Amino acid sequence: MTNEKPAIIGGSPISSTLVPIIQPTLPSLSEIRASLEEILQSKMITNHKYVRELEQKLTNYMEVKNVIALSRCTTGLLLIGKCLGIEGEVITPSFSFSATSLALLWLGCKPIFVDCHPTKFTIDVNKIQEKINNRTSAILATHIFGNPCAIKPLQEICDDNGLKLIFDAAHGSGAQYYGKSIGNFGDGEAFSMSPTKVLTAGEGGLVTTNNDELAEKVRIGRNYGNPGDYNTSVVGLSGRMPEFNAILALKSFEMLEGNVKKRHELFAYYKKKLSDFPGISFQEIEEGARSSCKDFAIVINPSEFGVGRDKLYEALEAENIMTKKYFYPAIHKQDVFKQYSNDKDLEITEKLADNILCLPIYSHMETPLVDKICYAIEKIYNFREQI
């Protein structure tokens, strides 16, 4: 795909073809052909052999007691919340993908938005206690861009106040917290395996938990709440994972550690190339944590960089480089959630949402492409007065 319009600052775009914001790193057809033929011949195409294999391998990898494969991450959040009996008010960040809080609305809960940490981007643990009251039932926190939350303080807050702790771990595959895989924490965690994730099934999700009772309810819940005898025992839904997706996920899992390592190398290279520019800062990783490096985000200080985030976004688009204003607008600014907004308490969230930009990154990306992207940013910076 080519861009016919000229770059904002004149001349031909730096990239002659579109540089995507993300690409899934996928196996070749030859690597999965035999498995695909097997399931087509067996006629067992949902929640069968390969789904069970995926669950077992991830259980071993994460060293968690239970992994349940599902059709979506949001399905996982819904089932965790329903099976835990979450109700009333739930404390959650506004700086997250909308699915985090949409799950709460589907559960009939009221999201109580808390500001995010200015450099880590995850929920600010120091702002939570003031939001807790007798209607609060849980905290739902997000591992932003694969950077784990401050899990220990969050768990302490929940223990002290009798609250459930749930993690939106959509970005969390391959991340760790003090040597333990994300997936081991809180009452339950929900992962995404959509095409933008480090571990991908095409589409799919996971629930992980060390709570056997919760795990059994989620397993039943993903099949309409049917334990096998059609005597519905859990308020469930249709959330099973197809075998096709599990086959893709198993191959993606084989690449997971290598892909996380490659992304850390790309992060370091990006930072090396961009650190000398005034007004560009980067996400700080939580102490004791390993990020999955799902997204590479920069935060723009317009007065120092000389160009605002939106202008940089447009200029890079004209250079044929896709970027993403992620997460913008913040959840509390979106139409569905405005009735729950408490803007005065979300200053950091709004500032971050207005100035953040995610640059292209994927596990098979090579450094010459990073060079091209950073050169485009340098070009925009050098000609900032013309934009």
DSSP states along 49-77? HHHHHHHHHHHHHHT-SEEEEES-HHHHH
Residue keyed to tokens 């688009």:
317
206 or 386, higher pLDDT: 206
Structure tokens at 296: 């590479």
pLDDT of residue 9: 67
Band (4; pLDDT cuts 50, 70, 90): very low
* Residue of 277, 324, 281 lying closest to 305 (CA atoms): 277
pLDDT of residue 228: 95
| Residue ranges of domains in the chain | 1-387
Mean pLDDT over all residues of the chain?
Answer: 96
Q: How far apart are CA 275 and CA 281, in angstroms?
A: 8
**Residues 210, 184 contacting (CB under 8 angstroms):** yes
One-letter amino acid for residue 12 of the chain: S
Show the CA angle centred on residue 207, arms to residues 201 and 213, nearest 5°: 150
**Residues 162, 42 contacting (CB under 8 angstroms):** no
Instruction: Kindly report, residue by residue over 239-279, the tens digit of the pLDDT.
Output: 999 999 999 999 999 999 999 999 999 999 999 999 999 99
**Residues 218, 164 contacting (CB under 8 angstroms):** no
For residue 203, with 0-12 CB atoms within 10 Å meaning exposed, 13-18 middle and 19 or more buried, which class applies?
middle
pTM: 0.96
Instruction: Kindly report, residue by residue over 8-61, the tens digit of the pLDDT.
Output: 666 789 998 999 999 999 999 999 999 999 999 999 999 999 999 999 999 999
The CATH number that domain 1-387 falls under is 3.40.640.10
One-letter amino acid for residue 227 of the chain: P
Q: Does the pLDDT of residue 2 top 50, yes or no?
A: no
